[in-house]
Structure 1
Amino acid sequence: MTSLHTVSPLSRRTWLVGSALLGLALALPAAAHDFKHGTLRIDHPYATPTGAGMANGAVYFRAIENTGAEPDRLLSASTPIAQSVELHRMQVDDGVMRMRPIEAMDLPAKTTVSLRHGQPLHLMLMGLQRPLVLGERFALTLRFERAGEREVMVWVQQPRAGSAAHAH
């Protein structure tokens, strides 16, 4: 008769293998949140949750890196969950923070551009079809001057602690 506290080596091995496989399965989605497109690396696209009745939302990226020898530009974006997507830059005018649409985002050669929450550059989702709910994902198509189009998946998540507030 075996004790309830005794674990056979086979059971222990099965548990360890199962735990390792579970850890790998949980890590794969995080690793898949980095998109390559030619010489561009699009790192961690994310949006913040919106409340009911909010017409607009925002999309950020940990970074967009241009590893190539030639500059590129992000010209536009689109998603089925919003009427339009605008490229925006935050700037201070007479002591007041304002959001300004811009024609394109420059991506100089051999450079990483930050589009994190609280940074000047971001994408605005105008005319949301529905609220952005924590934990969901949605498709976003990016159009680059040189690299062409690339669809990425955007995760809806809370910004990290310490990120500046962003309101429109």
Structure 2
Amino acid sequence: MRRVFRALTVVTAYCLICVTPSHAADQLERVKAVFLFKFFDYVSWENKAKAPKTLCTFGHHPFGKDLIFIAKMRNSDKINIIDIDTLADATKCHVLYIHHIDNNKTLNNIPNNAQTLIVSSDMSALKSGAMVLMEEKSGRVQLSINLKAAERKHLKISSRLLQISNVIR
């Protein structure tokens, strides 16, 4: 009987650990990381159609090694992962993730000719010209898409992605 009680205690403790807020936050960040790779399936680039696919991050981001792990899992699609030091390097990127925008590093520093899908978790980035916002709402990742910003960069976003997103026109 004691063994059964101990086993139940261990299982209960494990379940409590699995539903802690930090674990839930980690799960949401993993979902966001997967979305970054899925954007390659639902966005088309006119000028970069034949270029190797590149996912860039700028500044601090919460994904850790998740991006590398997901890239290995998707070995059928070769996607390069690059951390860029300056927004002027955005021309190298198909998808650019910027976790947080501060006053010194604005989206205005991205070259006008960069045909780059800019994704962020910062609402101010969407207002400043980013195309996709990944927000956490009620324990889920909610996408918002600035369609005009995407069209200005000649990016075509599939109707399937638009259906699951809040579209800002």
Same fold per superposition (TM over 0.5): no
Larger strand percent? 1
Between Structure 1 and Structure 2, whose CA radius of gyration is higher? 1
Larger helix percent? 2
TM-score normalised per structure 1? 0.32
